[in-house]
Amino acid sequence: MNVHLLIDFGSTYTKVLAVDIEKEIVIGRAQAPTTVGTDVTIGLNNALSNLFKTCGLDETQIQDSYASSSAAGGLKMAAIGLVPELTLEAARRAALGAGAKVTCSYGFEINKQIVHEIESAKCDMILLCGGTDGGDQNVIVHNAKLLAQSNIKSPILVAGNRAVTSQVSTILGEAGKKIYSAKNVLPSLDTLDVEPAQKKIREIFIDHITKAKGLDKAQYLIGDVIIPTPKATLQAATLLADGTKNEPGIGSVIVVEVGGATTNIHSVIDNLPVTYQAIVKGLPETRVKRTVEGDLGIRYNAPTIYDHVGNEQFLTKLKTLVPSLDGEQIDITNYVREIANNVGYVPANDIEFNLDIALAGFATSMAVQRHAGTVKKEWTVVGEVVVQHGKNFLKTENIIGTGGIFKYGLHPEKVLRSALFSAETPWSLKPQEPKAYLDSNYILYGIGLLAEKYPDQALRIAKKYLKPTVL
């Protein structure tokens, strides 16, 4: 067998997946609690021991290994830009597309209080942007001077106005900061160029951050290359959508990833106007996009989701899931508070399983709504026009659900159904009639890890193991 190990150091569990590249099959999978707080290799070796026992493998059969990680908070970044809707948003997209979690973001000139907030956030990396090429120079220079005076030890990536990149790098470098630079993420108001910054973020992650999180201890098995887990998922989505020279893709795709702390949306689709006459406004949209909703995790943020929705709407949803609920008394407020305090809680009965479906469904609906664009009619001097902001997902061909709720939850298709276009929010450009799949084998991260070296095989494995479902 040509066995390859696909490893994910998760925030809670370290997962291992063994695949046979030649036969294009999954041999087995296992997991064990992540031990990044002590020694990450303990959890890894426990997971491997479980895998070898269940599959009859041993280390001598492993040809190669690849790994991703969201342990110890994943890749936490701060984004600093100029105008919030422009360079700051471009910086956020660059960070998110690289697999980061943007823990704080600031526009315009920062001050000492903001610097203190960044220091307290203990981010793994700072992305400093500002100004189009040939545009404003003063703000990014001002912000660099304040960062230079700070106690920040994290690497700083400068990706702003090219006219002052050298000056900004000198200011920070002379203060002893770890400095990197990349092309401007927003070279002009109608051009978004995030790939150079994303490439540099990955290099910094490999060079510095894996060591800081103790992941370098596992390099004897996984080698030097490790990527953030969300980046692996985004690579899988891109492979599935676009295919390879030898294997066709499945077309445009949205991946809904519901977790205990966040709900992430990954998409690969060209941004087309809703009509030929529609006017598209706002920052240009990249074909490959990722958003992270830090207030929509179905454990840590369960009370927040409940507050967003309100008791009446939540109860109405629950009654559609459990028609026999009429007349029963259930304290939803207490349940969401309890699971937020015990994030590892597993539902114990049918009502609680359906409470999880409701939470995940609302999280999915809101997250996709934030990810998707909007459309509205406006009056101009030439009459009524259709104005579109953001990406149009109406004609998305495929949608995939991944995460614990889609593997272990009750009726996961009901959760994924919440991502679809709704007459209740007709202005939201959510997908209308996509084909649906469930990542019930937890393989998407592994497909992304294999995508670079074995794209054909990775794509065929994904097609084989993603489970079609009806919404």
The DSSP-derived string for 430-464 is: --SS-EEEE-TT--HHHHHHHTTT-HHHHHHHHHH
| Cα–Cα distance, 81 to 84 (Å, whole number) | 7
Q: Which residues contact 248 (CB under 8 A, 6 or more apart)?
A: none
CB 109 within 8 A of CB 135: no
Q: Please tell me the predicted confidence (pLDDT) of residue 344.
A: 80
Question: At residue 155, what is the residue type?
Answer: P
pLDDT at res. 328: 60
pLDDT of residue 85: 87
pLDDT computed for residue 468 by the predictor: 97
Query: Taking the CA of residue 214 as centre, how many other CA atoms within 13 Å lie in the half-sphere pointing to its CB?
Result: 15
- What does the pLDDT read at residue 218? 73
CB 87 within 8 A of CB 160: yes
Position 109 scores a pLDDT of: 96
Looking at residue 75, its amino acid is L
pLDDT in tens, the chain (471 residues): 789 999 998 877 889 999 999 999 999 999 998 887 788 888 889 999 999 998 888 888 888 889 888 876 678 899 999 999 888 999 999 999 888 889 899 999 999 999 999 999 989 899 999 999 999 999 999 999 999 999 999 999 999 999 999 999 999 999 999 999 999 999 998 889 999 999 999 888 877 767 766 777 777 677 666 888 889 999 999 999 999 999 999 999 999 999 888 899 999 999 999 998 899 988 889 999 999 888 898 998 999 999 999 988 998 888 888 877 665 667 889 999 999 998 888 888 888 899 999 999 999 999 999 999 999 998 887 788 999 999 999 999 999 999 889 988 889 999 999 999 999 999 999 999 999 999 998 899 999 999 989 999 999 999 999 999 999
pLDDT at 223: 66
Residues 6+ apart with CB under 8 A from 200: 157, 159, 180, 181, 182
Residue 183 neighbours by CB under 8 Å, 6+ apart: 159, 162, 193, 196, 197
Q: Which two tokens stand for residue 305?
A: 């989701």
- The C-alpha atoms of residue 456 and residue 255 are separated, in whole angstroms, by 20
pLDDT at 448: 96
CB-facing half-sphere around the CA of 422: CA atoms within 13 A: 13
pLDDT at 220: 67
Structure tokens at 36: 């990044």
Average pLDDT, the chain: 91
